[in-house]
Amino acid sequence: MSSDRQAVVARHLAKEVSSGTQTLTILHDVSLSLPAGESLAIVGASGSGKTTLLSLLAGLDRATRGQVLLDGVDLGTLDEDGCARLRAGRVGFVFQSFQLLAGFTALENVMLPAELAGYADAPARARLALDSVGLSARLEHYPAQLSGGEQQRVALARAFCGEPAILFADEPTGNLDTETGARISELLFDLNHQRGTTLVLVTHDAQLAGRCTHQLRLRAGRVI
Ligand SMILES: Nc1ncnc2c1ncn2[C@@H]1O[C@H](COP(=O)(O)OP(=O)(O)O)[C@@H](O)[C@H]1O
Ligand SMILES: [Mg+2]
């Protein structure tokens, strides 16, 4: 599923945050380019800037300097609504902290973005997505009734339910046992191979990182 089209491009990204009188640079001059249909593993020690980079690439946060292009669209030219619309149509995101809605069941959490994206068959899609992460018996459970690993799988199902062109996932196997982690890796690469979904993964899992066509290692906010 490779093509010359670049799904994700970053040019000289920098992210600074100010704390009191000090400016802290979290990312320094990060550039990358990922063709559509391929996969990128972002690796590095805790605190190296992986989550920050993923958020910038997915348009969830703004860079201090530099440029991000998603499917050729420069995120810097979009306002917040424009960014949200682009994400709704093309981007799936699995947060490190899952960010499930506490007042909604697993099924409702997964269904919501597909409904917002206008899929008439959102409930059926959501059931299928939950089935493929092994949670068909947990449809009516609320996040508080699920283990960390189960919540992670609900978050993953939610992210791919709307068939995004690009799936961003922050440590998608981080809370899973080896066997469940392997199953989730299979699922991610099935999406990649069968639907051509571009994957951008933050991971500590060397095996998962090794399966990606591209790897990027951060150390203290710099690509090494
Ligand atoms: N909003 C913020 N304000 C201040 N520091 C931040 C903020 N976000 C992240 N950081 C700091 O930036 C560094 C990188 O964070 P993060 O991207 O979460 O790293 P990783 O995901 O690799 O563990 C950390 O030192 C973190 O404490
Ligand atoms: Mg992180």
| pLDDT for 4 | 64
**For position 200, which CATH number holds?**
3.40.50.300
Domain annotation covers residue 190: yes
| pLDDT for 176 | 87
Higher pLDDT, 127 or 4: 127
Ligand 1 pocket check for 49: Cβ under 6 Å? yes
| pLDDT for 219 | 97
Q: Whose alpha carbon is nearest atom 18 of ligand 1? A: 51
The domain total for the chain is 1
Domain annotation covers residue 86: yes
Domain annotation covers residue 208: yes
Mean pLDDT for 92-109 is 94
Q: How far apart (Å, rounded) are the C-alpha atoms in residues 16 and 18?
A: 7
Select from 16, 28, 52 the residue to mutate for testing ligand 1; criterion: most ligand atoms less than 8 Å from CB.
Answer: 52
| Least distant ligand from the CA of 49 | 1
Domain annotation covers residue 107: yes
Domain annotation covers residue 93: yes
Could you tell me the residue range of the domain that residue 169 belongs to? Answer: 36-63+76-223
Contacts of 182 (CB under 8 A, 6+ apart): none
Q: How far apart (Å, rounded) are the C-alpha atoms in residues 192 and 1?
A: 8
CA 220 to ligand 1 centroid distance, Å: 10
pLDDT digits (tens, 9 = 90+) for 134-159: 999 999 999 999 999 999 999 999 99
Q: Whose alpha carbon is nearest atom 4 of ligand 1? A: 17
Ligand 1 pocket check for 46: Cβ under 6 Å? yes
Ligand 1 pocket check for 203: Cβ under 6 Å? no
Domain annotation covers residue 100: yes
pLDDT digits (tens, 9 = 90+) for 13-69: 999 999 889 999 999 999 999 999 999 999 999 999 999 999 999 999 999 999 999
| pLDDT for 197 | 96
Domain annotation covers residue 49: yes
Closest-CA residue to 202 (of 32, 1, 46): 46
Q: Whose alpha carbon is nearest atom 14 of ligand 1? A: 49
Confidence of residue 107 (pLDDT cuts 50, 70, 90): very high
pLDDT digits (tens, 9 = 90+) for 167-202: 999 999 988 889 888 888 998 999 999 999 999 999
The two structure tokens encoding residue 111: 């269904």
CA 50 to ligand 1 centroid distance, Å: 8
CA 141 to ligand 1 centroid distance, Å: 32
Ligand 1 pocket check for 47: Cβ under 6 Å? yes
CA 27 to ligand 1 centroid distance, Å: 9
| Least distant ligand from the CA of 18 | 1
Contact 58, 216 (CB under 8 A): no
Domain annotation covers residue 128: yes
